[in-house]
Amino acid sequence: KAVEKKEEKKPAASTGNFTHVLAIFLALVLLGLFLRIFVFNKSTEKTKNYHKYKTPEDLFRNVGEAIIRYIKQNPKARIGLASGSTPEGLYQYLIRKYEKGEISFKDVQFFSIDGFCGLSKTDPNSYYYSLTDKFLSKIDAQEKNIHLLNEEGTTLEDFERNANDYNELLDKNPIDLQILSFGENGHIGFNEPNTDFNLLTHIVELTPEKREEKSKIFGSLDKTPKYAITQGVKSILQAKEVICIAKGKGKAKVVSDLVNGVFTKKSPITALRNHNGKVTVCTDEEAGEKINEINKMF
Ligand code: GLP
């Protein structure tokens, strides 16, 4: 009888255990949901906004103020700088604010998106020189916090090593806020239409057309680099937040593809539609002429 009794109790005990495990499991699920919604939600915010400003001055003032707010909240932010002529007005705005003592960049870490291969830091055509000359040397950025792409080297192996080093760097130091601009065919960095969007920082062999176009700044085709280094579309999408800027009529079609269209390999910038965090697209009136709204979510 005693043996029988023991056997009868067994199912009751295991039901009790099961209920216990279920309760713990449910409690963990609830805790996970709570943390996801109330604690981590801010850093995984997934929003896409578009803003149109009347003039380039309005555009750069508003974007500049947004960046200043960001840095005040995150003084050690890792910021990716855009190259080309578009962000120059933005950098000038930020320099003026620094000169007035309204913002310090001393703990900000700076990164870049692209460059030519085989140019020294002192070569006026290097992106390193350009970003330093037009922005970083005019604010209180510290040398130890400047991590622009390395354009130096003589062989393809040197260039590829530079790209791999940058991937290691970005892996350990993911970019918090990427400032981004793009070309009239939608290219970002040196990621041209219909190229592989699944790459991290890599080396691009410049097409004869691209070299021809760039030869204007180098004086002759002979002096024009054959390769460029660029963050890949995949790396750009890994930045936690992106502010994309455009000005002028020449960018209007691409802005419309990005804000009103769908992701297409024909226009690398439309990959931003697949970004998992916060994307803000800001244009002047001309670049936004194909978008009816002044503000919109997309
Ligand atoms: C170059 C750069 C890109 C830049 C693009 C747009 O091709 N490699 O990084 O986004 O130009 O330049 P701009 O702003 O002068 O139109």
Q: Is the distance from CB of 80 to CB of 166 less than 8 angstroms?
A: no
Is residue 281 within 8 Å of residue 242, measured between CB atoms?
no
In the annotation, is 114 catalytic? yes
Torsion angle, CA of 176/180/186/188, rounded to 10 degrees? -70
In angstroms, the CA 226 to CA 143 distance is: 29
Kindly name the residue from 162, 176, 187, 285 that is annotated as catalytic. 187
What does the block give as tokens for 141? 């950025």
Ligand 1 atom with the smallest distance to the CA of 87 is 14
Q: What tokens appear for 11 in the block?
A: 């199912």
Is residue 275 part of the annotated active site? The answer reads no
Q: Please tell me the predicted confidence (pLDDT) of residue 124.
A: 97
pLDDT of residue 44: 55
pLDDT at 202: 98
Confidence band (pLDDT; 50, 70, 90) for 45?
Answer: confident
What are the tens digits of pLDDT across the range 281-291? 999 999 999 99
Q: Which pLDDT does position 1 carry in this prediction?
A: 47
Residue 36, pLDDT score? 59
Binding site membership of 189 for ligand 1 (Cβ less than 6 Å): yes
Residues, the chain, total?
298
Tens digits of per-residue pLDDT, 178-233? 999 999 999 999 999 999 999 999 999 999 999 999 999 999 999 999 999 999 99
Distance 132 CA to ligand 1 centre (A): 16
Residue where the block lists tokens 């130091």: 173
Average pLDDT across the chain, whole number: 93
Poorest-pLDDT segment among 15-19, 51-55, 161-165: 15-19
Establish whether residue 190 lines the binding site of ligand 1, counting it when its CB lies within 6 angstroms of any ligand atom: yes
Q: Which residues have a Cβ under 8 Å from the Cβ of 251 and sit 6 or more positions away?
A: 182, 184, 283, 286, 287
Residue whose structure tokens are 């009790």? 16
Residue nearest to atom 11 of ligand 1 (CA): 84
CB 85 less than 6 A from any atom of ligand 1: yes
Query: Using a 6 Å cutoff on CB, does residue 86 contact ligand 1?
Result: yes
Predicted TM-score (pTM) of this structure: 0.86
Nearest CA to ligand 1 atom 8: 189
pLDDT at 6 over 90: no
Q: How far apart are CA 164 and CA 297, in angstroms?
A: 36
Contact 192, 228 (CB under 8 A): no
Summarised one tens digit per residue, pLDDT across range 63-121 is: 999 999 999 999 999 999 999 999 999 999 999 999 999 999 999 999 999 999 999 99
Please write the tens of the pLDDT for every residue from 170-192.
999 999 999 999 999 999 999 99
- For residue 230 and ligand 1, the question of a CB distance below 6 A is answered with no
Mean pLDDT calculated for residue range 55-62: 98
Does the annotation count 192 as an active-site position?
yes
- Residue 133 annotated in active site: no
Q: Is 191 in the pocket of ligand 1 (CB under 6 A)?
A: no
